[in-house]
Every structure is written in structure tokens, then in C-alpha cells.
């Protein structure tokens, strides 16, 4: 989101704060309870595994505007890519066990919201096509990215099909 709204949000700032994300997740914890935990964990893994190791983040914004970083790996470097690939592999059985994958394969009135993660995955892939050197992702992550794009596309299309059938 900070890349999309870069005119008033800077990359790895408030949108990468554990405090801000926890506060924003409170309504989801209240409404969806345990079902929101994997999504919270996914956000935290992006911050704590991805960006914390690739240059730093404003970890405790708004309580502190200090930047925290562990290493300065390239975001498309092999250590980060392999970590993200491992998390992808681990996430699939967890999502299956919790029923999230099955939910994505059924019509649901909330499937329209998948356009957000769809665009979040599509953006770096398009950047990758533009040139390898300045890409925000590694070639190692193309297959998982294509998997998510296909899954999100399918979910959005079955939502649209159900919506059109309902109006007919």
C-alpha cells in the first residue's frame, strides 16, 4: 500500500509497523477471531522476515520513529527468496487445514476484496518482466506468485459469475 500511495506514505514506514498493523487488525480479531490469525501472521512475516532484513522498517511507529534493520540483504536476494519460498510451502497445508483454500474455491460475497492481494502480487511480477536487476522479487518466487495470481483470479471470477447469475 505504501508503494501505491507513495505521495503521502513512505516505503517501510507506518505500513510496516507492528503497532499500526496490530491496531488495524483489532476489528478483524473481534469479528473473525482465530480465523484472522493467519493473515496477521502473513503481514508480520512480510515485515519481520522480508523488510527487516532488507534495509529496515519503522517497527514501532507511532510510538517511535526509529528505524530497525538486522541485515541489509537485497530484497530479491537468495536468502530472502528461499525464506519466502519456505513460508509459501508451509502456508499451503495450513490454509488447507483451516479451510481457507477451500473457501477461495467457492463463490463468496467477499471474494471481490481479493483484487488487493492480486494487485500486490501482480505488481512485482510486472516489475520482474521489466528487468532482473531492479526487480523487487527473485525468480525463485515466480511460481508461488503465479499460483496466488491463478487462485485469486479464479476466486474473483467465480464471485463475478455468482453475482451475474444472481442478477439474472
Is residue 125 assigned to a domain? yes
Is residue 82 assigned to a domain? no
Is residue 88 assigned to a domain? no
Instruction: Check whether residue 1 and residue 67 sit in a common domain.
Output: yes
Instruction: Check whether residue 69 and residue 103 sit in a common domain.
Output: no
Instruction: Check whether residue 117 and residue 64 sit in a common domain.
Output: no
CA distances from 18 to 6, 46, 64, 100, 157 (A): 20, 11, 11, 24, 33
Q: Which three cell numbers stand for residue 34?
A: 482465530
Query: What mean pLDDT is predicted for residues 84-99?
Result: 88
Is residue 83 assigned to a domain? no
Is residue 141 assigned to a domain? yes
Is residue 56 assigned to a domain? yes
Q: What percent of the chain has pLDDT over 70?
A: 81
Is residue 20 assigned to a domain? yes
Instruction: Check whether residue 3 and residue 67 sit in a common domain.
Output: yes
In tens, the pLDDT along 7-42 reads 666 667 777 888 988 999 999 999 999 888 888 888
Boundary-marking domain end, from 16, 39, 73: 73
Asked if residue 83 has pLDDT above 60, the reply is yes
Mean pLDDT of the chain: 81
Instruction: Check whether residue 65 and residue 103 sit in a common domain.
Output: no
- Specify the number of domains making up the chain: 2
Chain-centroid distance of CA 74 in Å reads: 18
Instruction: Please indicate whether residue 128 or residue 77 has the higher confidence score (pLDDT).
Output: 128
In tens, the pLDDT along 131-142 reads 655 566 778 888
Instruction: Check whether residue 124 and residue 162 sit in a common domain.
Output: yes
Q: Specify the range with the lowest mean pLDDT, choosing from 28-32, 51-55, 99-103, 110-114.
A: 51-55
Domain, as residue range, for 33 = 1-73
Instruction: Please indicate whether residue 63 or residue 6 has the higher confidence score (pLDDT).
Output: 63
Query: What mean pLDDT is predicted for residues 72-86?
Result: 70
Q: What percent of the chain has pLDDT over 90?
A: 20
Amino acid at each position: 500500500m505504501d508503494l501505491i500511495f507513495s505521495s503521502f506514505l513512505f516505503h517501510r514506514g507506518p505500513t510496516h509497523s507492528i503497532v499500526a498493523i496490530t491496531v488495524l487488525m483489532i476489528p478483524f480479531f473481534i469479528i473473525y477471531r482465530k480465523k484472522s490469525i493467519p493473515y496477521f501472521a502473513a503481514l508480520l512475516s512480510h515485515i519481520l522476515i522480508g523488510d527487516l532484513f532488507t534495509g529496515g522498517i519503522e517497527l514501532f511507529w507511532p510510538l517511535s520513529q526509529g528505524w530497525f534493520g538486522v541485515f541489509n540483504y537485497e530484497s530479491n536476494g537468495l536468502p530472502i527468496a528461499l525464506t519466502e519460498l519456505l513460508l509459501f510451502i508451509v502456508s499451503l497445508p495450513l490454509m488447507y487445514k483451516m479451510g481457507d483454500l477451500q473457501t477461495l474455491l467457492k463463490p463468496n460475497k467477499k471474494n471481490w476484496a481479493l483484487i488487493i492481494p492480486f494487485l500486490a502480487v501482480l505488481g512485482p511480477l510486472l516489475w520482474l518482466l521489466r528487468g532482473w536487476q531492479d526487480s523487487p522479487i527473485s525468480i525463485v518466487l515466480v511460481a508461488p506468485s503465479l499460483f496466488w495470481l491463478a487462485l485469486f483470479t479464479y476466486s474473483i471470477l467465480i464471485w463475478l459469475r455468482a453475482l451475474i447469475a444472481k442478477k439474472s
